Amino acid sequence: MSEKIRKFAGLADRILAFIAIVVFLSQILLAVTGPPQWIVDWLEMPEIAPRETPRNVVVLGPGGGVGRPMRELVLAALAGERAVVLDADALTSFADEPQALFAATRSRATATLMTPHEGEFSRLFKALRLEARSKLERARKAAQEAGAVVLLKGPDTVVAAPDGQATIAENAPPWLATAGSGDVLAGIAAGCLAQGMPPFEAASAAVWLHGEAGNAAGPGLIAEDLPEVMPDVFRQLVALLASR
């Protein structure tokens, strides 16, 4: 399968592979069940995670399909107390009724993260295409309107919080723009949230980690490569922190 994807053998094969990636990430990153044990082992700081880790994050969107069933899943998740990451189809499903989504996200006290690329963003925040001049301004206004952290993907990914905080990451290599890469980013963000990071910080950290994983994997990567290089990225990060 990997060789077929590398040789661009067709979108159908890719879709099946990338749905599998989301399931794979839920095991590697343990996004809904707790923090990765190998991170705890390296840092030798078990206090970074509670001993009993509840299922505290929901990721919706990748490979889920667009339409009413997805909208119902999203609204049900937002009505709960878990942190919610909305990506891909979870966002596009509200393109014709974005206010229904925003009403649900604004009413939450728990973390909500939206991770659109430019196309998904423009479908969900139609008015901002004309109102906002820069990508930073668009992300900030979207976060304020939705009452959620917005991670607007691209070569210079912007993370914005409803209170106006924002980060811009530009460490992502051009070869990271491949099908399924955004699904991996959603999984990394969910993993950060599951470990107790606040949503703005979790999104910003996930973007940086995702970019570094792309650099580590190198040109020609496919989305399946990113989880494989994450341990090296964490090792380098820990070594950097230890040297300060």
The CATH number assigned to the domain holding 116 equals: 3.40.1190.20
More confident residue, 12 or 210: 210
- Higher model confidence: residue 30 or residue 194? 194
* Per-residue three-class SS string for the chain: CHHHHHCCCCHHHHHHHHHHHHHHHHHHCCCCCCCCHHHHHHHCCHHHCCCCCCCCEEEECCCCCCCHHHHHHHHHHHCCCCEEEECCHHHHCCCCCHHHHHHHHHCCCCCEEECCCHHHHHHHCCCHHHHCCCHHHHHHHHHHHHCCEEEECCCCEEEECCCCCEEEECCCCHHHCCCCHHHHHHHHHHHHHHCCCCHHHHHHHHHHHHHHHHHHHCCCCCCCHHHHHHHHHHHHHHHHHHCC
Report pLDDT digits (tens) over 12-40: 344 334 434 444 444 444 334 343 443 33
- pLDDT recorded at residue 62: 94
Q: What percent of the chain has pLDDT over 90?
A: 70
Report, as an integer, the average pLDDT of 109-138.
Answer: 92
How many structural domains compose the chain? 1
Instruction: Provide the pLDDT for residue 241.
Output: 84
Range of the domain at 59: 2-242
Average pLDDT taken over every residue of the chain: 83
Q: How confident is the model at residue 2 (pLDDT cuts 50, 70, 90)?
A: low
Confidence category of residue 143, pLDDT binned at 50, 70, 90: very high
- Rounded Cα gap, residues 230 and 223, in angstroms: 12
Confidence (pLDDT) at 131 = 80
pLDDT in tens, 48-99: 444 455 789 999 999 999 999 999 999 999 999 999 999 999 999 999 999 9
